[in-house]
Structure 1
Amino acid sequence: MFIDGQWRDASGLGVDEVEDPATGRAIATTPQGTRAHAEEALDAARRAQPAWAALPAVERGRAVLALADAVHAETELLARIVVAEQGKPIGQARGEIGATETFLRFAAEWARRIEGEILPSDAPNEEIWIRRLPHGVVAGLTAWNYPSALAGRKLGPALVAGNTFVLKAHEFTPLSGLALAALAERVGLPAGVVNVVTGDGRNVGAALVEGADMTTMTGSTRAGREIYATGAKGIKNLRLELGGKAPFIVMEDADLGRAVEAAVAARFTNCGQICTCNERMYLHEAIADEFLARFVEKAGALSIGPGMDDPDLGPKVSGGEVEKVEAMTLASIKAGAEVLLRGGPLKEGRYEHGHFMAPTVLEVRSNDVPVMKDEVFGPVVAAKRVGSYEEALTLANDSDYGLSAYVWSANLKRVFQAAESLNFGEIYCNRTNGELVQGFHSGWGLSGLGGEDGKWGFDGYLRKKTMYVNWA
């Protein structure tokens, strides 16, 4: 662990094994941190925060920019770490490190954009000043699907805004966070400004939520509920980016070739382990046969293998995740889903010891089967035919999740209808997934609170102080 500028080993502690998803073999161990370690990291961050916040914002920005430069210089090493602990193809891992760098650079650019406001008062000789100030200590809890990018997405704006930071990376993928800590040390960030602790969520994570001034978390809805309950005790400032169940709507006037390509990419990139993935497809009956034929052909042709071979699909992150997705698939087939392409777990030959899955494509007649209601987070997707755009919108909104949605249509009126009618924080029109750093990534419903990216995301790392200044 990295606490107050010092590296801590596992002496006297248990360890968690970090597994290579492609082989099932342990490649590293990290300490099973305790509540005491979390509290020590929070104390270090709290001691460092006043001096860090007192620096001109542009100096904090330069420090984050130096970290971005270090990430760029170590792209290949960092990408290989992601492959080793998370499993994704090396090309996608390099893209993740590029995103990490971009998040840091974008945050650094906001150092000169921390703006307050002056408002007229109702009283004479008086003004109202609204200042934006850091929260203090920010805890970052990250998911295993993008272990480096999610850390950079939170760390950059938190530091530029004047906060100090404690990261708890997921137990499956702690190495990327520790690698960022090593780079933070290399570029000379002051002790206590960046801390990384390892361990489980129920002990280390809960202690961070209880002790930090603000918590930003990306993960499951289940974990989000637990954090919400823990944070409620202290009325904590929380930002939660949780699960998704993105509908992928394709109308009869869509560019079918592009739509199929986008649907395949949006479902199977990172082995379907993205919260914005194409989770359920609603296809106009006029194009459903052709769309599904093309989609199944492309899904069936995707290459599968270890991440360093740079296939289309790497392994899932763990055996438990494979079992969860397969159980959902079998339950959906039992509930009446028709199998158009059957993949599932791979356990022979080169796949024997890893956590590999081949794509499965289903067609359903009901919106109530498990693969249409629950987040899959794997290489399985189902489609349902619809007779109209209105039916597609209604079915798309029939979900407790509200993170991302997709609409494919050449009709501008339908695009505006989506903007008004789809109950999701992020909508992709005539494109595949992949939010941009200047946008705003925000979920509705069970998909979370607050959001990341852009000026709106950066503003969340600041709190407002209002002053009534009277000079009469």
Structure 2
Amino acid sequence: MAVKTNNYLMSINGEWVGSERDTLNVVNPATGKTVGTVPNGGEKEAEQAVDAAYEAFESWSNLTAYDRAGYLQKLNQLMLENQEEIAQMMTIEMGKPINESRGEVKYAASFIEWFAEEGKRVDGGVIPTHATGKRLQVWKKPVGVAAAITPWNFPAAMLTRKMGPALASGCTFIMKPSSESPLTAVKLMELCEQAGFPKGVVNLVTGSSSKIAKVVMGNSKVRKVTFTGSTEVGKTLIRQSADQVKKLSLELGGHAPLVVLDDADVDLAVKGTVASKFRNAGQTCICANRIYVQEGVYDEYVEKLTKAVKELKVGDGTDESNDIGPLINQDGLDKVKRHVEDAASKGAAITTGGEAIADNGGLFYQPTVLKDVNQSMVVMQEETFGPVTPVEKISSDEEAVKLSNDTPYGLAAYVFTSNVARGYQLIEKLDFGIVGWNEGGPSAAQVPFGGMKESGIGREGGHEGIDEFVESKYVAIGMG
């Protein structure tokens, strides 16, 4: 299915608008060709979106949870009906293989479906009183205007994971997608319009991240900001939020370890590694970046992993036979090259891959396995964000824990062992918010997603996800 290219607009207060500034080109990293343009919005447009969301908040928050759920259920239905168009849009703007894009649309829609129902369960409570003649209650109220700044690598799911709980709880919403993949957000905004959301409840602003963020962080009408991206930017947002003590949810960087113990099912471990590491060409925040394999199964694991990785096909994501798409931009490709070259110079052996692929101007890199790596190599210290799997040999469970935790990040980790007691003991010592045990794909709408340490603040998804968008109001009632 071909997706037409176009000059797209922003949506503010129910109107599709451009910008007084210039436009931004959206480039397909698989071909180097421009596939569309979006307005390069800035402070003016951001202020307009904030005002629109602020004006719409009172009426939206006063709807019943069941009424708000009706809008979300309609949006979920429309997303599933338009799955193919959204998926094609996603693939041409950021390169993800089409089958992964289709899966992301379903995943993204599942957050809308989940929070449509979860919004009906935002309840307070009655607390036993400490004195006669009193009644103590807790009410839950929506925070207010919520703004979301989302990344390029999951342009649908990272948006709906924030939009679902915000709208379900009674908040109004401003979305600011990455300028490298804004077209999926435009399509989702169109579907919000088709679902009948009232004017100002959902707004879309594209353009300058710094200028738009300056407004949402500095405008007191915005009471909640939710961000997925780098830890560096997250720390900046924390500092900017201080003046207003603005409520934040931050899902930041990761550097996930994957541990294979000597009693693991090696075939299952290899399958889980490929599923985790090579999804979206390794450009995910929870993908396995550091592989620690116990010496008893090290050679078998490397051999089987190398064989599996050699079978992965690289190319344009619109070709359904391809497993690995491009890196998002030249900086991303250069980082992957630098990490592999550094590892090779320090003694790592490349068992497969290890080279960039020249293909019609695309930004492709061969799926790569490195063995005999060690902690001196950059690939074990920095998040690569590319299709490279470094494998280090370890001798004990204690070493696995020590090396895994030796990072400022704590988003995701993976453990492969067939021994239940051993698995529990190891996992209890891992400082990560998400752990996959014999599982390479732990994400789901109904579970909490988020990290420890410098990997973020708060949780998205699950029961906890909607708590980030409500405040508890304690009410003491004197009965006379």
Bucket of the pairwise TM-score, normalised by the shorter protein: over 0.9
Task: Note the alpha carbon deviations across 1:15-39, whole angstroms, 9 max, x for none.
Answer: 1100011100111111111111111
The partner residue of 2:430 within 398, 412, 422 is 422
Contact 2:119 2:165 in 1 (8 A): no
Q: Choose which of 450, 454, 479 in structure 2 pairs with 1:471.
A: 479
Match of residue 134, structure 1, among 127, 142, 145: 142
The residue identity in structure 1 corresponding to 2:274 is V
Q: What is residue 120 of structure 1 aligned with on the other side?
A: 128
CA contact (8 A) 1:206 1:227 kept: no
1:139-188 Cα deviation digits (max 9, x unpaired): 01111000011111111110010000000000100111111111111121
TM-score by length of 2: 0.95
Paired residue for 1:9?
18
The question of whether the paired residues in 1 share the 8 Å contact of 2:336 and 2:384 is answered with: yes
Deviation at 1:365, TM superposition (A): 4.7
Matched, 1:326 2:334: no
Structure 2 unpaired stretches of 5+: 1-9
- Whether the 8 Å CA contact 2:373–2:390 is kept in 1: the answer is no
The whole-number CA distance in structure 2 between the counterparts of 1:265 and 1:288 is: 19
Partner of 2:174: 166
Establish whether residue 64 from structure 1 lines up as the match of residue 84 from structure 2.
no
**Does structure 2 retain, via aligned residues, the 8 Å contact 1:120–1:126?**
no
Which of 232, 235, 238 is the matching residue for 1:228? 238
Q: Deviations over 1:31-65 (max 9, x none)?
A: 11111111110110000000000001100011011
Q: Could you tell me which residue of structure 1 aligns to residue 371 of structure 2?
A: 363
Segment drifting more, 358-367 vs 146-155: 358-367
8 A Cα contact 1:75 1:98, kept in partner: yes
Contact 1:86 1:317 in 2 (8 A): yes
Match of 1:43 in 2: 51
For 1:18 and 1:452, the matched residues in 2 are separated by 28
Query: Deviation digits for residues 97-143 of structure 1, max 9, x if unmatched?
Result: 10111110001011321110111222221122111110000001111
Q: Quick one: percent identity of the two aligned structures?
A: 35
> How many aligned positions are there?
468
8 Å CA contact 2:226–2:248 kept in 1: the answer is yes
Q: Any idea what SS the aligned residue of 2:156 has?
A: helix
Amino acid at match of 2:16: W
Q: Following the alignment from structure 1 to structure 2, what is the Cα–Cα distance between the partners of residues 224 and 205?
A: 12
Do the aligned residues in 2 keep the contact of 1:276 with 1:433 (CA within 8 Å)?
no
Gaps of 5+ in 1: none
Counterpart amino acid of 1:87?
Answer: G
Are 1:256 and 2:256 an aligned pair?
no
2:5 alignment counterpart: none
For 2:312 and 2:76, the matched residues in 1 are separated by 33
Q: Partner residue of 1:216?
A: 226
| Contact preservation (8 Å) 2:340, 2:354 | no
SS at match of 2:197: coil
Residue 6 of structure 2 is matched in structure 1 by none
Query: In structure 2, what is the Cα distance between the partners aligned to 1:327 and 1:29?
Result: 31
Q: Distance in 2 between matches of 1:49 and 1:9?
A: 24
Moved more, 390-399 or 121-130: 121-130
Matched to 2:243, the amino acid is: K
Letter of the aligned partner of 2:245 in structure 1?
A: I
Match of 2:137, SS state, is strand
**Among residues 141, 144, 147, which one is paired with 2:152 in the alignment?**
144
**In 2 relative to 1, CA 376–365 (structure 1 residues): closer, same or farther, beyond 3 Å?**
closer
Distance 1:394 1:215 in 2: 34
Cα distance in structure 2, aligned partners of 1:369 and 1:69: 48
Could you tell me how far apart the structure 2 residues matched to 1:18 and 1:240 are?
Answer: 26
Match of 1:339 among 350, 372, 375: 350
Match of 1:97 in 2: 105
Name the counterpart of 1:187: 195
Q: How many angstroms apart in 1 are the aligned matches of 2:24 and 2:236? A: 22
Distance 1:169 1:175 in 2: 9
Q: Are 2:398 and 1:403 aligned?
A: no
1:77 deviation in Å? 0.4
Report if aligned partners of 1:141, 1:167 keep a CA contact under 8 Å in 2. yes
Q: CA deviation at 1:334?
A: 2.8
Per the alignment, in what secondary structure is the counterpart of residue 314 of structure 1?
coil
Structure 1 window deviating more from structure 2 (334-343 vs 217-226): it is: 334-343
Query: Quick one: which amino acid aligns to residue 355 of structure 1?
Result: L
Measured in 1, the distance between the counterparts of 2:250 and 2:96 equals: 24
Find out whether 1:289 has 2:299 as its counterpart: yes
> 2: CA distance between counterparts of 1:341 and 1:356?
15
RMSD: 1.2
Q: 1:196 and 1:434 mapped to 2: Cα distance?
A: 30
Match of 1:316 in 2: 327
Pairing of 1:416-455 with structure 2 (within 5 A): 416-455=424-463
Q: Which amino acid aligns with 1:9?
A: G
